[in-house]
Structure 1
Amino acid sequence: MEVLSFLGIVVGVGALLLGNVLEGGQLSAILNPIAFMIVIGGTMGAVMVHTPTKIFLKSLGAFPRVFFPPKLKAELVVKQFMVMARACKKDGSLQAGNYENKFDDAFIRKAIKMLADNAEVDLIEDILHRDIDLEERNHRLHAEVYKSMGGYSPTIGLVGAILGLINVMSYLDSPSQLGHGLAVAFTATLYGVSFANLVFIPVAEKLTILSEREANFRDMVVAGVVSIRSGESLSTTESRLRSYLDDRLASGWN
């Protein structure tokens, strides 16, 4: 579990609630289901209009990745690749087929299968990099959905505020009803801005970072397979693989 993501939301929301209490406010004053419905419902509706169905549904399914990102285990993969590289160096690339089932990652298994089939280096790079680009593009589309939510949310909050003020105007002759309309107006604005800056935009940025890490990891796999297929020395293969572990994004791999 990515504890920092969970902790970030808790700290952000907690700071708002604590600040409200310290200023003398009551928790019940900012818990408004009507304002929540307006902001979340309006935001989702706006995003659904401009997003294709499959992308929208998959983007919702990508949300848990923020808290439970895939464990890439790059260090272990490098060690396993070096074992495979020694076997291939000794008995040829066909030996790579014996290692295919040692990996759970479908992309790695595909790369190793191409190595065992003695595919040309150019073909290996072309097919695998196309797969990487496709996956990265899909991840980017998912992140864009949350960025859109972050853009619409404050505006929908403003719409909720206007609706609340309209209700206030209709109750000018009934002072006892004014408080309800004003509550919806201000809490809708609060929800719109808060959800945008504490949830939607951070989620989009986190998904983008995770996508970059995965793409870098898969680039490492391609580099390793290509190095083995090209007949490079074991020390060169290991250097190529470990150069990716030294990358600044590697800190979040394991």
Structure 2
Amino acid sequence: MDKLSLAGLFVAIFAVYAGFALDGGHLSALFELPAFIIVVGGTLGAVMLQSSMVQFRHAISLLKWVIYPPKYDMDRGINEMVSWATKARESGYLALEDTALEIEDTYTQKGLNLLVDGVELDHFRDALELDLDIYREHNLRSANVYEAMGGYSPTIGILGAVLGLIHAMSNLTEPALLGQGIATAFIATIYGVGFANLLYLPIANKIRTIVHHQTMYREMVCEGLVSIAHGENPHAIENKLSAFRLRQ
């Protein structure tokens, strides 16, 4: 669990609520169902319109990464590469066949299987790099879904404000309805800007950060497996891969 993400969300929401309350406002005034429906529903609909079904569903599936991000231990990965290089030099590539079955990371497992199958060196690197590029692009597009939500939300909040004012102007002779319309107008703007800057854009950037760490780890795996395929010395492989520790 990413406690920093939870703490950040709590601090952001608490800061907004606390500042509003200290200024004399009532927290119940910030809850307006019509404004919520306009902003959240409008934003969701706009993003669904621009996205493919596959990409939209994948973006939703990555939402859990904000709280439960995948873990990649660079030091452990480098040590595993050195161990596999030693085993391959002593017993050949086939000795890594059982190791491939135990690996949970699909990218590493694919690389080991290619190594065991004796794929040509040029095709070996090309296959791993292609897989990495496609995986990174697929996940970054999912981050773009949340970035798009952060772009649409403030504008739709303004739309909600205009709709609220139209409703208010049509009830100038009825103070109760007039107040309700004005409340919807201002709160829709708050929802639009607040959701964009406190949720959607941070989620997009969080996913990008996680994808960046994944990419670095898999670049290390690619470089390590290619070095093993070239028959390099395990100590030389460790020295080469140690540079990835500085990129975390």
Q: TM-score, normalised by structure 1?
A: 0.94
CA offset at residue 62 of structure 1? 1.0
Cα displacement string for residues 119-173 of structure 1 (whole angstroms, at most 9, x for unaligned residues): 2221111011111111111111101111110000000000000111011101101
Identity value in percent = 38
Instruction: Say which SS state the counterpart of residue 172 (structure 2) adopts.
Output: coil
Instruction: Say which SS state the counterpart of residue 181 (structure 1) adopts.
Output: helix
Alignment of 1:172-211 (within 5 A): 172-211=172-211
Alignment of 1:227-246 (within 5 A): 227-246=227-246
Cα displacement string for residues 178-217 of structure 1 (whole angstroms, at most 9, x for unaligned residues): 1111110000000000000010011111111111111111
CA offset at residue 235 of structure 1? 1.2
The residue number in structure 2 matching 1:122 is: 122
Matched, 1:56 2:56: yes
Give 5+ residue unaligned stretches, structure 1.
none
Q: Is the 8 A contact 1:85 1:234 kept in 2?
A: yes
Matched, 1:96 2:96: yes
Q: Is the 8 A contact 2:32 2:184 kept in 1?
A: yes
Q: Find the aligned partners of 1:6 and 1:239 in 2 and give their Cα distance.
A: 37
The residue number in structure 2 matching 1:154 is: 154
Give 5+ residue unaligned stretches, structure 2.
none
The residue number in structure 2 matching 1:43 is: 43
CA offset at residue 85 of structure 1? 1.1
CA offset at residue 72 of structure 1? 1.5
More deviation, 149-158/6-15: 6-15
**Root-mean-square deviation over aligned CA pairs:** 1.1
Displaced runs of 4 or more, over 6 A:
none
Q: Find the aligned partners of 1:21 and 1:131 in 2 and give their Cα distance.
A: 51
Alignment-mate amino acid for residue 229 of structure 1? A
The residue number in structure 2 matching 1:169 is: 169
Q: Find the aligned partners of 1:7 and 1:171 in 2 and give their Cα distance.
A: 43
Count, aligned residues: 248
Q: Find the aligned partners of 2:168 and 2:91 in 1 and give their Cα distance.
A: 82
Instruction: Say which SS state the counterpart of residue 246 (structure 1) adopts.
Output: helix
Q: TM-score, normalised by structure 2?
A: 0.97
More deviation, 85-94/13-22: 85-94
The residue number in structure 1 matching 2:34 is: 34
